[in-house]
Amino acid sequence: MKHRVTCMDCGKTERIEVQKGQHIQSGWGYYGKLNINACQTDKYFYRTKKGAEDVFDTERVANPCYTREVKRKLVELWVCPSCLKEAQLE
């Protein structure tokens, strides 16, 4: 299946071949999905407790911006082969 991708560093756009559950052979780097409506769609936030020694010692806090009607909007994070090569050299 052809998939339209955009580099998050330089903005280059291309169509690449992607198969579900298989390794991407095009050289593009995939970094997952990001919810850009997270502030309005997440019912709770998690923050580190005061005086906690471990970063993962969190407490759940109600989100005052939560709106039930707002839908999640996911954006895929891709990096083109040239930007990926530059990042690996640094």
Check whether residue 50 and residue 27 sit in a common domain: no
**What percent of the chain has a predicted confidence (pLDDT) above 70?**
99
Q: What is the pLDDT of residue 87?
A: 82
Check whether residue 47 and residue 66 sit in a common domain: yes
Domain count, the chain: 2
Residue 90 pLDDT level (bands cut at 50, 70, 90): low
| Full domain range(s) for residue 50 | 37-70
Check whether residue 19 and residue 43 sit in a common domain: no
Pairing of strands 44-48, 74-79: unpaired
Check whether residue 30 and residue 1 sit in a common domain: yes
pLDDT tens, position by position, 31-70:
999 999 988 999 999 999 988 888 889 999 999 999 999 9
C-beta of residue 83 within 8 angstroms of C-beta of residue 11:
no
Check whether residue 15 and residue 25 sit in a common domain: yes
Check whether residue 66 and residue 78 sit in a common domain: no
Q: How far apart are CA 85 and CA 35, in angstroms?
A: 26
pTM for the model stands at 0.70
Residue showing tokens 């919810």: 35
Structure token digits, residue 36: 């850009």
Check whether residue 49 and residue 60 sit in a common domain: yes
